[in-house]
Amino acid sequence: MEPDHVHMTYIRCTRDALWDALTRAGAVASHHFAGIAARGDLTATGDVQTHHVGDATVLTQKVVEALPKSRLAVDFTPGWADPPTTSRVVFRLQAVGAAQRLTIEHYGDAAQDRAEDGWARFASNLKSWLETGETVIGRMDGVA
């Protein structure tokens, strides 16, 4: 099956740092553009991470496959969709010299018309945060 959206970027960081930024709730909250609070780590099959803006759960991710520091596949259920639909997101990590190539593949998200912009925002903030400690896309009061 071909993904509905693919986003790729190169990040100057270690594989450990990139893996932690994708899987650790505290790190996700530090770089995510939606200004979220995150609960739960995504390190093993069955793990669940929820993202919150205020009292609202805006995203739930459940790990379906975790190959540490190389591949993470999650069921992705946005709370902003009405009705909520679950799709699959795969994060692929590959070392390229002193950098890491991150490929984000999103499957089955035809109803999520803003996915391309969302993944571009996510990847831009992740890259900037890992390389400089700062994000480039400002925090939002709600979900874009």
| pLDDT tens by residue, 83-101 | 878 999 999 999 999 999 9
DSSP designation for 13: S
Neighbours of 122 (CB within 10 A): 19
- Residue 28: what pLDDT? 92
pTM equals 0.90
Note whether 143 and 34 are within 8 A (CB): yes
Dist CA 61 CA 69 (whole Å): 18
- Residue 110: what pLDDT? 54
- Residue 65: what pLDDT? 97
- Residue 32: what pLDDT? 84
Neighbours of 65 (CB within 10 A): 12
Q: Which CATH number fits domain 5-132: 3.30.930.10, 3.40.50.1440, 3.30.530.20, 3.40.50.620?
A: 3.30.530.20
Note whether 128 and 135 are within 8 A (CB): yes
Domain boundaries, the chain: 5-132
* Residues of the chain predicted below pLDDT 50: 111, 141-144
- Residue 144: what pLDDT? 40
